[in-house]
Amino acid sequence: MTEVAQRGGRDGVIRCARYVQGKKVDDLPLAGALANCGPGGSDGFVWIECTEPTSADIAAVADEFELPELKAVADAVAEHRRPKVKVHGDVVPVVLSPVHYVDSDEVVEVTELAMFLGPGFVITVAPWGIDALDQVRKEFNEGSGHPEYGVLEVLYRVADRIADGYHVAIEDFWLDVDTVAEQVFDGRDKDRTARIYQLKREVAEFRRAVSASGRTLEQVSEARLRRLSPQAVPDFGGLRDHQRRAADSIESIDRLLSDVLQANAAQIQLRQNEDQRRISAWAAIGLVPTAVAGIYGMNFEHMPELDWQYGYPMVVGGIATICFTLYANFRARDWLGARPGSQTEAARVRRALKIRANRLRRVGRLGSGS
């Protein structure tokens, strides 16, 4: 039975169903759901799924299962804060952080998902619909669960789907990082600093979400899990490895972004140096005729070369010779721009940095196993 409560224009959805032998048996009303909870394992369990719940919804679930902490957790989840959960006894609290990478905006959307696992029941609280929950519920409704795991299989499958989502987001991140790296190294005079910092901020947000989920799974002890499912416990070690690989991939992305940011800053500095050299070179060339014209513009009374027959061509020729000599010297040093077939210092540095970035990208992807 699905109970839908409307409060203030918002829909709060409470799903309550009973599962036996890894398969959905029937829907239940929330009232009296606790009476249908067995000790776990093959005896079955009740799954209460709270999606965008209202305060009244949470109060009803908390009263039914005697979980006063549920109210504070639900408020934190609704406000997109990571809740601090302290529940004693046989109840195991877990808070996971699903993520979704919005490629068009290059932002990470992080959701907080709270789960309470007790003897014969599991309660999930989410601020909106989460794909991982929908997938797992569909699998259980189709009867693909393992009877011996009981409520722990809900935790395992949801956490595994969330970890899969991490790797999907990581691949999207790699594509954007590759794109910005290519833009940095394409030689165009455009500053990419703002976009790189934006990606680094999103990587930091992503890292916090993955680290928080990883710590949660690390803190769930084997002994507490076995109290919920005495017959068998899913391979949470493999799930933790899955999370660690995601964390390693994120670290690789962050290191590459740091290198790209440094390369971008280096190229900006090199371009500025090239501009300054070019301006200085042309200023030096232009200084020669300016200085000569200034001297003869002083109108001194005694300037003997003014009376020479070849005085004017000699002065003009001298100016041209000096200017051409300066031009040839600066051109040979690439101070006036790159000669055909030559590379500027910026181009050489750009090539070296690009080789390093490509190497880091390959090593990061291979090392993380993504």
Pick the closest to residue 250 from 114, 369, 359, 355 (CA basis). 369
Task: Give the whole-number percent of the chain exceeding pLDDT 70.
Answer: 77
pTM for this prediction? 0.74
Please check whether residues 254 and 280 belong to one and the same domain: no
Q: Rounded mean pLDDT of 354-362?
A: 65
Of the residues 200, 233, 263, which one is the last residue of a structural domain? 263
Q: What does the DSSP assignment read for 87-137?
A: --TT-EEEEE--EEEETTTTEEEE--EEEEEETTEEEEEESS--HHHHHHH
8 A C-beta contact, residue 14 and residue 3: yes
Please check whether residues 155 and 275 belong to one and the same domain: no
Please check whether residues 312 and 213 belong to one and the same domain: no
117: phi then psi, degrees, rounded to nearest 5: -110, 120
Q: Rounded mean pLDDT of 33-62?
A: 78
Please check whether residues 184 and 201 belong to one and the same domain: yes
Confidence of residue 307 (pLDDT cuts 50, 70, 90): confident
Please check whether residues 203 and 289 belong to one and the same domain: no
CATH number of the structural domain spanning residue 149: 3.30.460.20
- Computed over every residue of the chain, the mean pLDDT equals 79
- Among 236-240, 274-278, 297-301, 358-362, the range scoring the smallest mean pLDDT is 358-362
Burial of 302 (0-12, 13-18, 19+ CB in 10 A): exposed
Please check whether residues 45 and 152 belong to one and the same domain: yes
Of the residues 235, 263, 291, which one is the last residue of a structural domain? 263
Please check whether residues 315 and 196 belong to one and the same domain: no
For 67-109, how does the pLDDT look when each residue is reduced to its tens digit (9 = 90+)?
A: 877 777 777 666 666 656 665 667 888 888 999 888 888 888 8
Q: What does the DSSP assignment read for 242-254?
A: HHHHHHHHHHHHH
Please identify which residue in the block is written with the tokens 């594509």.
175
Of the residues 231, 263, 295, which one is the last residue of a structural domain? 263
Please check whether residues 259 and 283 belong to one and the same domain: no
Please check whether residues 312 and 360 belong to one and the same domain: yes
Q: Residue 359 belongs to what domain range? A: 270-368
Please check whether residues 17 and 112 belong to one and the same domain: yes
Please check whether residues 173 and 38 belong to one and the same domain: yes
The pLDDT value given to residue 201 = 92
Detail the DSSP E strand segments found in the chain: 2-7, 10-20, 23-27, 45-51, 92-96, 99-102, 107-110, 113-118, 121-126
- Among 18-27, 71-80, 295-304, the range scoring the smallest mean pLDDT is 71-80
Instruction: Tell me how many domains the chain contains.
Output: 2
The pLDDT value given to residue 199 = 92
The pLDDT value given to residue 54 = 83
- Strand 45-51 versus strand 10-20 pairing type: antiparallel
Please check whether residues 249 and 304 belong to one and the same domain: no
Q: Rounded mean pLDDT of 44-51?
A: 88
